[in-house]
């Protein structure tokens, strides 16, 4: 690679809820505007990929697509706003027919997100 060229490494897309939660954790842990924008875009792409997996209803698929597009259309967020949106979206997925283990992981993570938001609200 020559000096001045950008290198893009494509991250593998998620194919299950465990991987999506890992992606959400990376987004929540991102700091700095550029890093968080990159992670928001990656998370949006992961939502789109998960929407293509089996076992979802048409409505669930549409929700994942809509949520993924939000992160892609607007990848830069203020931290508190980003944490709030991420938490609300995860609470929506909790209403899907997911395994009890995934539901518990979502509950645990949304609790952690609420703690992150608490000082500002």
Task: Read off the pLDDT of residues 108-118 as tens digits, 9 standing for 90 and up.
Answer: 999 999 988 75
Residue 10 DSSP symbol: P
Total H helices, total E strands in the chain: 5, 0
| Average pLDDT, rounded, for the chain | 87
Q: Name the pLDDT band for 121 (thresholds 50, 70, 90).
A: very low
Sign, Cα dihedral of 76, 81, 87, 93: negative
SS3 assignment, position 76: coil
Task: Write down how long the chain is.
Answer: 121
Q: What is the pTM of this model?
A: 0.84
Checking if the pLDDT of 45 tops 60, the result is yes
pLDDT at 8: 46
- What proportion of the chain, given as a percentage, has pLDDT over 70? 87
């Amino acid at each position: 690679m020559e000096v001045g060229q950008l290198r893009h490494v494509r991250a593998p897309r998620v194919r299950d809820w465990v991987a999506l939660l890992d992606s959400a954790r990376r987004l929540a842990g991102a700091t700095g505007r550029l890093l968080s924008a990159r992670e928001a875009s990656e998370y949006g792409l992961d939502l789109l990929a998960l929407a293509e997996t089996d076992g979802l209803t048409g409505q669930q698929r549409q929700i994942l697509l809509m949520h993924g597009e939000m992160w892609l259309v607007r990848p830069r967020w203020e931290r508190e706003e980003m944490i709030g949106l991420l938490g609300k979206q995860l609470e929506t997925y909790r209403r899907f027919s997911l395994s009890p283990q995934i539901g518990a992981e979502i509950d645990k993570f949304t609790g952690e997100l609420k703690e992150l938001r608490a000082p500002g609200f």
